[in-house]
Amino acid sequence: MAPAQSGPDRPDLSAATLGARRYGYGLKPGEAPAADVDALMLQLKRGSAAKPRFPRDGITGRRETIGRLLTVRAVEAKAALEGRPNPGLRRETQREAERFFIRDVLGRIGQAVASENGFFERLASFWIDHFSVSARKAYEMRMIVPLFEAEAIRPNLAGSFTELLRAAMLHPAMLIYLDPEQPGGPVATALLRSGKGLNEALARELLELHTLGSDSGYTPDDVRGAALILAGLSLDTRSLQVAYQPPPAEPGTLALLGKTYGADGRSGSDHLAMLEDLATRPETARNISTKLVRHFIADQPPPEIVDQMVAAWAESGGNLSAVYRAMLEHPRAWSGETGKVIPPFDFVVSGLRAFEQKGGEFSALAKAAELEAAEEAPVAPAKGPALQQPAVARALTFRALARLGQPVWQPPSPAGFPDDVEAWLSPRQLSERLAWARLAARTLGRDLDPSAFLSATLADAARAETRQVVAEAPTKVHGVTMVLASPEFNRR
């Protein structure tokens, strides 16, 4: 269906431009943007079928690589206990994990830059933040977190929320990240225990962040009940297979939100039944619908859009595609009102997409950025093309995101990255964005016509005053910088 007309703030803004910037990663030369709801929904189907650029060695290969490195680490640890330490071997496994991680980060950025399925990619970013895990928890997490997104998040983000919740909560990455007894180092074989040592952190985040929400009215008894139901989960450190062996029930303690689990004896599916119940509760539908609207449309989600999504959630049994469509089909979803400040990842990706004039600029950046990580070549001499210098390439990609405060797969807490204007409009944030814009303009845009670049990047979203500033810029680099620093480029 066609979207409603744009709102009073920008009644002249086309649906294609609004769709590309609000529901994707911006306009890209040679790519036709989605201009209506059906076109955006088609991106979900295409995105689900596409193979991501990470993990670099594929899902099966990555699991084999993790098993090999953990085996080497276990041998080294045993030798150290026997008085035969080998610190060099430990450092090498850490370096290898870091090399894999840098390649995967570049793959993650490149996935967003290159994909024609911007709505799918934005949803992948939303859900990897909703189910936050950090690659910095332990060295092996640098290899496991990219696997988490590739095999738990992306294949399930357009289907049932119950399946997505199960895949995310029962993945090794989540169990390691939310294990309070694992501050770092090799993973344990038993992550969750009954009685003493209950993992209430996992249970609390399940209720507060991943399903019901902080204001849903759950109690400390509900947290303990969820922890007891989850008790018995274990992880094999070599195969990364998760198993569930329920411990004997404690009478009267396996209650959650008024429902009792295991009344006739514990079973191997108690935890799955609990996850399904949480996934289908109305509090969960409202919490997640609100977060989706806040992410895509407004820091203060319009209640009428959320209500329409909650109704779709109930009618479809939690089918996420139906919930997304309900959001997109509301007239306010296509209002020309602006206000959402794009976070650093979106800023960098949108900028790199805008510079893909020939379709190979990011590939050159990624190749240069990998050189140091792979230890295959020295830094290119200063007189060489800036695009091919590893230091410049890193500064435009993963190091830029670290400086901007949103490093890939490294959220500050289980709550993920902030998603409001206050977080991304600080003086330091604006200074870093301007520095990135200048470097990108000198490296990727020094030969571009600024006015043409503005039209290609923002189309009819560019205001008259911005067009004038860019047209009057003293140099091409300055003009291109002004495009990237403009309010229109930094807001949806």
3-state secondary structure 98-127: HHHHHHHHHHHHHHHHHCCCHHHHHHHHHH
The token pair at 202 is 């996992």
**DSSP structure string for 178-195:** T-TT-SSSSPPS----SS
What pLDDT, on the 0 to 100 scale, is given for residue 266? Answer: 75
Quick one: pLDDT at residue 184? 43
Alpha-carbon dihedral angle through residues 142, 54, 348, 342, given to the nearest 10 degrees: -90
Of 3, 47, 17, 25, the closest CA to residue 122 belongs to 25
What is the C-alpha separation between 93 and 100, in angstroms, rounded? 11
Measured CA to CA in angstroms, residue 255 lies from 211, 227, 252, 278 at distances of: 17, 10, 7, 13
Pairing type for strands 255-256 and 242-244 reads: unpaired
User: Is the separation of the CB atoms in 247 and 268 below 8 Å?
Assistant: no
DSSP type of residue 211: S
Q: What is the pTM of this model?
A: 0.92
* E strand or H helix at 260: strand 259-260
Query: CA–CA distance from 321 to each of 156, 224, 292, 420 (Å)?
Result: 10, 33, 12, 25
Evaluated on CA atoms 54, 60, 63, 66, the torsion sign reads negative
Count of C-beta atoms within a 10 Å radius of residue 249: 20
State the Cα–Cα distance between residues 212 and 228, nearest whole angstrom: 18
**CA 355 to each of CA 123, 155, 335, 474, 484: distance values in angstroms, whole numbers, following the listed order:** 23, 29, 28, 20, 11
Report how far residue 156's alpha carbon sits from residue 150's, in angstroms, rounded to the nearest whole number.
10
Q: Name the residue among 130, 99, 124 with its Cα closest to residue 111.
A: 124
Burial track 420-440 (b if 16+ CB lie within 10 A, e otherwise)? eeebbeeeebeebbeebbbbb
End-to-end CA distance of the chain: 22
225 Cβ contact partners less than 8 Å away, ≥ 6 residues apart: 203, 253, 254, 255, 256, 261
Q: How many CA atoms lie within 13 A of 165 on its CB side?
A: 27
Q: Provide Rg for the chain, Cα atoms.
A: 24
Q: Per-residue pLDDT tens, the chain, 492 aa: give them.
A: 433 333 335 667 899 999 999 999 999 999 999 999 999 999 999 999 999 999 999 999 999 999 998 888 888 888 888 899 888 888 888 899 999 999 999 999 999 999 999 999 999 999 999 999 999 998 899 999 999 999 999 999 999 999 999 999 999 999 999 987 654 444 433 333 333 347 899 999 999 999 999 999 999 999 999 999 998 888 887 778 899 887 765 555 588 999 988 777 777 888 999 999 999 999 999 999 999 999 999 999 999 999 999 999 999 999 999 999 999 999 999 987 767 999 999 999 999 999 998 888 899 999 999 886 655 444 444 445 667 789 999 999 999 999 999 999 999 999 999 998 888 988 999 999 999 999 999 999 999 999 999 999 999 999 999 999 999 999 999 999 999 999 999 998
Tell me the CB-side half-sphere exposure of residue 7, using CA atoms within 13 A.
13
